[in-house]
Structure 1
Amino acid sequence: MLASGEQRVGEDARSALVSDADDLASQYSAALDDSSADSKTKQASLMFSVAEEYVLDGDGEEGSNRAMEALTLFREMNDKQGEQDSLRLLHSAYRAQGKLDYAAEQASAELAKFKGKDQRGEASMLFTIGDVALAKSQPGEAIKSFQEATDLFKKAGDKKMAVNALLASAGASLKKYDLEEATSNAKAALGLAEDLGDKTAQGKSQLWCAICSMEDGSLSDALASASKALGLFKEAENEKMEIAALELMVDVYLTKGLPRKALHAAEQALALCRKIEYGRGEGGALHAVVYTMLEKGEAKKALKLGQKALDAFQKTGNKAGEAAARCALASVYAARHQPAEAIKEATREVQIWKDIGDKRKTASALLTVSALNVDCGQPDAAFAVAKQAGDLSKDLQDKKGQGAA
């Protein structure tokens, strides 16, 4: 069995929790149905909502264009909150494009303007600076910024953003292997989210609680929290986060040694992706289904599903989906003791991520190729590929990736 396969199951769930947006689109979309809102407010709110959707789908370039339009309109109206949220979204779009230093520079410049004058604005920029530090694998620096941001959001009376900052702190604390602090932040976020009555925020908090429980080895608690999260996302009609909850449940079930239940949850996630035409999430859901089939000893079915999905992704031009399908097929071939075919698919996955320009996923895929070369008794090739992964991780300032390489 491919060593990295299980590590990738549930990866999309964790990615959804550290997404490059604050989940404020629904708040701004409400203005579109408000008869008292003027046309410029509606236009700015629409641009913000569209920008957030682009950023969540990984399109940083289009997201930055729309966020800049929203920012300009909010500034023309002297809408301070709209300006601050648009600035954060703009900086998030820059991060999605890999422009980490530029995002930090812009946030620092805005921070100087807000400091001592506007607590919420100051908090928003500190939050961005923390996001950049975390993306650079500097969790200690990130936590400092997140904690300052949380305190300022609370003072400014913005519980929604305080929840977001607390959850970011939870993620950063896990990066530092500080499970106690991560759990404390996740529970604090859950309490605030419950005060707000925000179902999506409650669901995200429950998912972080589930992840913390998994790290602690408390699998029953993890499953309970993930199940609660799924119910909350259903109430909120947030189908993308439903998928994230299901994929985390797959991870828990596999860890508990329950592949049949894992497969059921994975198939639900894949069906939901296809129902809402969520191309970005479908690849991860497919990988979860294929991997759980392999755990059940159903390699033939897994191969058929992977090949069928690959054909579909190629026809629609979904490159990220194609990469995920090739990763899944690499796992299948490895399980079927066909190492040459496994390496071929994994190498193709690497090339796709290179073409897309996603260095982080390229590095992850290179590690898969390296592991497969080890299995094939080709240590020199394995070392060379692992070095490539390490160099990429170094460029990304990803210390965990460097350690894995």
Structure 2
Amino acid sequence: MFNWLSNMAEKLLGVYRKYLAGITLKAEADRLLNLGIEQYNKSQFRAALQSWQQALTIYREIGDRQGEANSLGNLGNAYDSLGQYQVAIDYHQQSLAIEREIGSRQGEANSLGSLGLAYQSLGQYQVAIDYHQQYLAIAREIGSRQGEANSLGNLGLAYRSLGQYQVAIDYLQQTLAIAREIGYRQGEAISLGNLGNAYDSLGQYQVAIDYLQQYLAIAREIGYRQGEANSLGSLGIAYDSLGQYQVAIDYHQQSLAIAREIGDRQGEAGSLNNLGNTYLQTNQLAEAEENLYASMQIKETLRSELTNYDHKVSIFETQTATYRLLQEVLVAQNKFDTALEISERGRTRAFVELLTKTLFTTNVGAGLAEDLKQEQITSQQNPPLEANVNLSSVQIQQIAESQKATIIEYSIINPDIYIWVILPNGEIAFRRANLEPLQQLNQTLDDLESIILKSRVSIGIEEKDADGQKIQLESEFKRDNQGRYPLLQLLYEILISPIADLLPKHPNAKVIFIPHYNLFLVPFPALQNPADGSYLIENHTILTAPSIQILDLTHQHHQNIRGLNQAALVVGDPILDPKFSADPYKLKPIPAAKEAAQAIAALLETEAITGEKATKAVILDRILGVRIAHISAHGLLDDFGDSGIPGAIILAPNSATDDGAIRAIDILALKLNSEIVVLSACSTGKGKITGDGIIGLSRCFILAGVPSVIVSLWNMGALSAKLLMTEFYQNLERGMDRAAALRYAMLTTKAEEGLDSPADWAAFTLIGETESLSLNTRKIEQQELTMPFSPESTPQEIIDAFFKLLETSNVFSNYLEFMEELKAEPADSAQEIAKKIEAWCKDKLGIEKGINNKLCQMGAGGTESKPDEEVAREFNDRLLENRTRLGSPPPSSSSGTKDKN
């Protein structure tokens, strides 16, 4: 009995000792947690890290979940301040999970806000806004005024980054009011600073300086060193804008010193960038170059520490100013070759790294897509392979020599565009774009995207602006009666005329364009020489690449896979899931695409997969072992699955849960050894335009292992696509390389009556490898490309197709009398006018063919219908407008349109 009592007493004493030890350990953990907060508020980030790591260890040992969550969240904040955003996100996600598990609403709110700030640092502003909105909702729900102030301030900062300055100011004024109300001095200081930066962005520099001086005063008063550095840097920017350069330099140097002292690498890079910019303004070019190089190196280090490629792309968009400024400084010193190196260094960095990983390492394949869906592509202990991303000018010259091509690289350095021409012998020439035509129109480079989109509208392609509104074309930019397209000529003058003397004289010599940002949307084959009206493709063999290094990597890869496969895969007109036939897609079957696929399949000696057989599962399986894949189907720019990569090819559904869409992320799951993939679908060459190139379908196929991809910048119509693509494959069989085969196919299509508009032949672009592709094709005769108008076409679509052809083609030149023959009566409905057009076209094969192709181009979404009472009036108005444009005789008084009241 005594032994039992003795044992129980010993156990109870052990429990009590553990209890006392737990209390002691918790007290120590709490002390370390608070010490870390104190250190962090003084911008002693590394010291704070040590305190919080020790606190985290203890909290985990004693099972204190709230303490663990607090430590994780604070560690995330410290790593964010040190520029290690990937690590910060990982800690915040762990903290958020625990806060939700234990039901801590305050902690959940704080974690959401911290995640928002981390994504903000990565340049992912919409993601950040979503987190901040959640933070704000919880803060208001639980009555946390400080949390409300922080979330409002974070939202203001995000909207300022998006250029929505007044929205930002509204949020920041609310933040400032709450911070002052509750005596939150650091929040007040940050609000004042962010307001100053917003007013600086609006050009109200003195207002900005007043706010920033208040920020600086409070930051110094409370010992907030990071805030002091930020306010000094912002003051430097404001004084730079006022032309007080020495004052600006003094502020930037003070900011730089503090950023280095506290270990704020992002702040250090920003200060160096700002110093470089101010030195450039004062023509101190050597000092500017030194500071900008140092800034670039820090930014590249920050980027290299990220393991998620989407994060690498987005953070680069926040870093581009340094690359642009450095190019400007180098060009000012006539260091043109070095500037080209920086131009290359400042594009497709994540693309190059990922392509190197996928093509030249083993066991990647299907894992790549899964990695991209997750926050990290590899663990922190196993960082991704770092590619050699810094090409020297000598290496660039060697690539041009190996390609036997003239490479043209553009770099938009607002308010200028730099152009480098690397000749096949390795010689490098530097030119500037000719911006005088823009100035004559009272336009600047800020208007370039609008001009490019309008140039596409001028050839009959529907485009929408940033607000989703259909872009309308001014009359002076429409095709004239001599077949001239003013905007295609304008782009030629800007981009081609300055380098025309450097382009090869032989039309079969390759010219490789390396566009930049919105220049990826330029239809280079269709650019029109103002001197003689010729198109660029008539005189040159054209292809594109995202960067010179991507061009080189695809060439290397092609050497490894050449000849591995021989089979061909041809897909045409899959049936559509009902959801794609309804709003907002309104896709239609494309019978001509089926015929085109069958013709191409016969030529390649295989069988086309069409209709209900062309399912996603079948195609993803069949594409793995083919040399050539040709897919003629609808394409969409949607980001299905929120992968961050827009683009999808719409194939046949296989079940109620499978809509048939091959998403961009699905392509990344493949390991392909195809030598070429042709995406004969609408807009497969478009996507999200970034400094890392266009993120979309073409990029995904290249990353999946395809060295050559042919994509379209718009839907060119199944009839013309059939002619062009059958010619393309036959040209390959004749021994032409891929670029030459595409060029001659374009010219053949352009020569076809009714298909002479650039919209009908200039949509396709070849990306990547251009080496010849030996084929044994079956000889086929081109069938007549005409057919009755599809019964699926609405009367309004027939009318719109008629006018699109009229406004973009030469085919009407012998039929000017049609103006009188087709004039509508006031009571005519759309159906009656459409029947009149169809009957009139019966013996005019070129016009019938052209209208049919325009109807095919409308397959992706159709066109808007109009009330019958408006149709006749609008039809006659458009006839009259085109009569004037074509310079035909005016109508007689009896046949003119009626006056409108």
Match of 1:285 in 2: 271
Alignment of 1:70 with 2:55, yes or no, is yes
Match of 2:211 in 1: 225
With over 3 angstroms needed to count, the CA separation of the structure-2 counterparts of 1:41 and 1:133, relative to structure 1, is closer
Name the amino acid aligned to 1:123. Answer: A
The Cα of 1:256 is off from its aligned counterpart by: 3.4
Query: Whose strand fraction is larger, Structure 1's or Structure 2's?
Result: 2
Match of 1:38 in 2: 27
Structure 1 segment 181-192 matched on structure 2, within 5 A:
181-192=167-178
SS in 2 for 1:377: strand
Q: 1:207 aligns with which of 193, 200, 209?
A: 193
With over 3 angstroms needed to count, the CA separation of the structure-2 counterparts of 1:396 and 1:282, relative to structure 1, is farther
Question: How far apart are the structure 1 equivalents of 2:107 and 2:261?
Answer: 39
Alignment of 1:113 with 2:101, yes or no, is yes
Structure 1 segment 378-389 matched on structure 2, within 5 A:
378=421, 380-383=513-516, 384-385=545-546
Name the amino acid aligned to 1:113. Answer: E
The CA deviation string for residues 360-383 of structure 1, in whole angstroms up to 9 with x for no partner, is: xx9xxxxx9944795133482444
Structure 1 segment 298-317 matched on structure 2, within 5 A:
298-303=284-289, 306=291
Contact residue 99 and residue 105 of structure 2 kept, 8 A:
no
Alignment of 1:296 with 2:282, yes or no, is yes
Contact residue 203 and residue 233 of structure 1 kept, 8 A:
yes
Q: 2:225 aligns with which of 236, 239, 264?
A: 239
Match of 1:180 in 2: 166
With over 3 angstroms needed to count, the CA separation of the structure-2 counterparts of 1:82 and 1:155, relative to structure 1, is farther
Percent of aligned positions with the same letter in both sequences?
19
Contact residue 96 and residue 108 of structure 2 kept, 8 A:
no
Query: Whose helix fraction is larger, Structure 1's or Structure 2's?
Result: 1
The Cα of 1:215 is off from its aligned counterpart by: 3.4
Alignment of 1:98 with 2:73, yes or no, is no
Structure 1 segment 323-402 matched on structure 2, within 5 A:
330-344=327-341, 370-371=411-412, 375-378=418-421, 380-383=513-516, 384-385=545-546, 397=644, 402=689
The Cα of 1:72 is off from its aligned counterpart by: 5.0
Name the amino acid aligned to 1:39. Answer: E
The Cα of 1:120 is off from its aligned counterpart by: 0.9
With over 3 angstroms needed to count, the CA separation of the structure-2 counterparts of 1:166 and 1:338, relative to structure 1, is same
The CA deviation string for residues 180-204 of structure 1, in whole angstroms up to 9 with x for no partner, is: 3321221222223223434332221
Question: How far apart are the structure 2 equivalents of 1:49 and 1:352?
Answer: 39
With over 3 angstroms needed to count, the CA separation of the structure-2 counterparts of 1:136 and 1:266, relative to structure 1, is closer
SS in 2 for 1:268: helix
With over 3 angstroms needed to count, the CA separation of the structure-2 counterparts of 1:111 and 1:118, relative to structure 1, is closer
Question: How far apart are the structure 2 equivalents of 1:138 and 1:271?
Answer: 29
Question: How far apart are the structure 2 equivalents of 1:339 and 1:152?
Answer: 54
With over 3 angstroms needed to count, the CA separation of the structure-2 counterparts of 1:396 and 1:371, relative to structure 1, is farther
Structure 1 segment 12-31 matched on structure 2, within 5 A:
none
Question: How far apart are the structure 2 equivalents of 1:53 and 1:212?
Answer: 26
Contact residue 85 and residue 121 of structure 2 kept, 8 A:
no
Match of 2:242 in 1: 256
Question: How far apart are the structure 1 equivalents of 2:255 and 2:328?
Answer: 19
Name the amino acid aligned to 2:101. Answer: K
Structure 1 segment 135-214 matched on structure 2, within 5 A:
139=125, 142-154=128-140, 156=142, 158-175=144-161, 177-214=163-200
Contact residue 104 and residue 129 of structure 1 kept, 8 A:
yes
With over 3 angstroms needed to count, the CA separation of the structure-2 counterparts of 1:51 and 1:401, relative to structure 1, is farther
Contact residue 306 and residue 329 of structure 1 kept, 8 A:
no
The CA deviation string for residues 155-202 of structure 1, in whole angstroms up to 9 with x for no partner, is: 545444333222211123335554333212212222232234343322
With over 3 angstroms needed to count, the CA separation of the structure-2 counterparts of 1:237 and 1:290, relative to structure 1, is same
Contact residue 45 and residue 70 of structure 1 kept, 8 A:
no
Name the amino acid aligned to 1:214. Answer: D
The CA deviation string for residues 14-40 of structure 1, in whole angstroms up to 9 with x for no partner, is: xxxxxxxxxxxxxxxxxxxxxxx9333
The CA deviation string for residues 291-327 of structure 1, in whole angstroms up to 9 with x for no partner, is: 2121022324545x549x86xx99x9x966xx99x95
With over 3 angstroms needed to count, the CA separation of the structure-2 counterparts of 1:49 and 1:73, relative to structure 1, is farther
With over 3 angstroms needed to count, the CA separation of the structure-2 counterparts of 1:396 and 1:172, relative to structure 1, is farther
Contact residue 273 and residue 281 of structure 1 kept, 8 A:
yes
Contact residue 206 and residue 226 of structure 1 kept, 8 A:
yes
> What 5-or-longer segments of structure 1 have no aligned partner?
1-36, 363-367
Question: How far apart are the structure 1 equivalents of 2:150 and 2:385?
Answer: 25
With over 3 angstroms needed to count, the CA separation of the structure-2 counterparts of 1:51 and 1:397, relative to structure 1, is farther
The Cα of 1:141 is off from its aligned counterpart by: 5.9
With over 3 angstroms needed to count, the CA separation of the structure-2 counterparts of 1:169 and 1:68, relative to structure 1, is same
Q: CA RMSD in A?
A: 5.4
Question: How far apart are the structure 2 equivalents of 1:141 and 1:330?
Answer: 31
With over 3 angstroms needed to count, the CA separation of the structure-2 counterparts of 1:243 and 1:358, relative to structure 1, is farther
TM-score by length of 1: 0.63
Question: How far apart are the structure 1 equivalents of 2:153 and 2:253?
Answer: 28
Structure showing greater radius of gyration is 2
Aligned length: 348
Q: Which structure has the higher relative contact order (CA within 8 Å, separation 6+)?
A: 1
> What 5-or-longer segments of structure 2 have no aligned partner?
1-25, 303-318, 354-382, 390-408, 422-494, 496-512, 517-544, 551-638, 647-686, 694-901
Alignment of 1:88 with 2:73, yes or no, is yes
SS in 2 for 1:185: helix
Contact residue 212 and residue 222 of structure 1 kept, 8 A:
yes
Name the amino acid aligned to 1:332. Answer: V
Contact residue 107 and residue 129 of structure 1 kept, 8 A:
no
Contact residue 319 and residue 352 of structure 1 kept, 8 A:
no
TM-score by length of 2: 0.32
Question: How far apart are the structure 2 equivalents of 1:44 and 1:259?
Answer: 43
Question: How far apart are the structure 2 equivalents of 1:171 and 1:398?
Answer: 26
Name the amino acid aligned to 2:251. Answer: A
Contact residue 293 and residue 302 of structure 1 kept, 8 A:
yes
